[in-house]
Amino acid sequence: MPKLLLLLALPACLYAAPTASPAAQLDEAALQQRIKVLMTTRPADAQTRAANLAELEERFKEVLIRFPGGTFAKVAASSLAGLLHRTKRDEDTREFAKERVEAAKTPDEAYIAAMLMLNVAVATQDSRLPAGMLTEKGKSDPQLFGTARVRVLLGAIQVQGQLFRDANQTLEAIAPDKLEAPERNQRDMMLARADRMLAENEDPGPATELRKKALALLEGVIGRNRTPSRELLAVIPDAVDLATKLGDKAKAVALCQDMKKVFTGHPEVASSADALLFKLEAEGAPAPAFDGPDLDGKPMKLADFKGKILLLDFWFLACAPCKADHFALGQMAKKLAGKPFALISISVDPAGKADQIRAYLKQANIGWLQIYEALGFESKIAKQYHVVGCPAYFIIDENGVLKKAGLQGRPVEDAVMAEIARLEKK
């Protein structure tokens, strides 16, 4: 699972209707309603927008101080950290979180303070203060900060900070039967994440055991949760990845099919499941034969690249990670000049973008082959390769066999280099 999905996304238009006095105390229901109004309506002038953002901040804090055991406190904890991060006030968030930790007098207050610390860690990408403070408070005040549900949040903070061994120890020590269902799910998901990452640096034997344990934890989460949720949307692909690494293709396929079943009526999720199934079933088989036009309408097809290692790069203009990767792709292409290698970037931009694509390619000094069908993600090649997000990379060998599907990041270059080395040894 890339970044923890714990912060609630705040609308880009975090504006509101005419302000009420921030000093006016409201009961819990009225306070929630006021926050909803502040988050969903849009005054036109900048002064009112600024005033309403300031009120929204105070209202979130009011919830956390006056109603830490209320149903809205979790929303306030995540939203406040996100709001202050977006307004470049991370230090204010840290200070408020520290104040709430020190002020906690009840288990509910301690739990919400710990949740605020977790969201500070997620928003700022810095887990040192939250992890250190909650660890110390757990020792000095175990009645408040040593409870099972607070330790689950500490484990999540440690995972966020890539302190995977610490997280493993924290979360393993928590008896699952001491937790309510949501905290049990969070504990198992975070422990599985820690075990997965620890496995990457272990010898094969211990790594296999860690992956088996992580997969069992995620299967437990999936089995206990049979309604669509963000958690399941993250958990099932992770479970598929673990099953694949353990060599259990049948289980990986079954998990993909289960994902489609649980998310019936969600076509975008079905597409993601189909992409996972494609990766499972297509790697090692002949790659889908494609043909498509370059920016000048000249056709090219897969058969043109027989005898070479071919890398397909799916991208689009508004994809910042795609553009960031293009520099690395260019460097790799230079290293492989004269080698049996070809690189094709396939734009999944909609119609009418050809001139913008040309301008970007010129500005970025990109000279390798391009395909542009002007159909967005409905392009024939994107659908053949089940591309649902970008960047996405596919490696095809000299005989037209799909070797790797849906790669991202550093493993792309490593996999390409391995294929080139293999081919040159023949």
pLDDT at 21: 45
Evaluate whether 208 touches 246 at the Cβ level (below 8 Å): yes
- 262 and 148: one domain? no
Evaluate whether 56 touches 34 at the Cβ level (below 8 Å): no
- 3-class SS of residue 72: coil
- 5 and 138: one domain? yes
**∠ CA(343), CA(345), CA(348), 5° rounding?**
160
Query: Measuring CA to CA, which residue among 162, 150, 29 is closest to residue 100?
Result: 150
- 329 and 417: one domain? yes
Residue 186 falls within a domain, yes or no?
A: no
Q: Is the omega angle on the peptide bond into residue 204 within 30 degrees of 0, that is, cis? A: no
Q: 265, 282, 299: which is the final residue of a domain?
A: 282
Q: What is the Cα 75 distance to its own chain's centre?
A: 20
Q: Domain residues for 358?
A: 291-425
Q: Tell me how far apart the alpha carbons of residues 86 and 392 are, in angstroms, rounded to a whole number.
A: 28
Q: 142, 176, 210: which is the final residue of a domain?
A: 176
> How does strand 291-293 pair with strand 299-301?
antiparallel
Q: For residue 328, which amino acid is it?
A: A
pLDDT at 23: 46
Q: Looking at beta carbons, which pairs linking 193-199 to residues 24 or more positions away fall under 8 Å?
A: 193/1, 193/159, 193/164, 193/167, 193/238, 194/155, 194/158, 194/159, 194/164, 194/165, 194/167, 194/168, 195/168, 196/238, 196/242, 197/162, 197/164, 198/164, 198/165, 198/168
Residue 183 falls within a domain, yes or no?
A: no
pLDDT at 356: 97
**∠ CA(81), CA(87), CA(90), 5° rounding?**
50
- 62 and 172: one domain? yes
pTM summary value: 0.79
pLDDT at 24: 61
Evaluate whether 103 touches 66 at the Cβ level (below 8 Å): no
- 40 and 128: one domain? yes
Please state the domain count of the chain. 3
pLDDT tens string, the chain, 426 residues long: the values are 443 433 333 333 333 333 444 446 788 889 999 999 998 888 888 899 889 889 999 999 999 999 987 888 988 988 898 888 888 888 888 999 999 999 999 999 999 999 999 999 998 889 999 999 999 999 999 999 999 999 999 999 999 999 999 999 999 999 999 899 999 999 999 999 999 999 999 999 999 999 999 999 999 999 999 999 888 888 999 999 999 999 999 999 999 999 999 999 999 899 999 999 999 999 999 999 999 898 888 889 999 999 999 999 999 999 999 999 999 999 999 999 999 999 999 999 999 999 999 999 999 999 999 999 999 999 999 999 999 999 999 999 999 999 999 988 778 999 999 999 999 987
How many CB atoms are closer than 10 A to CB 183?
20
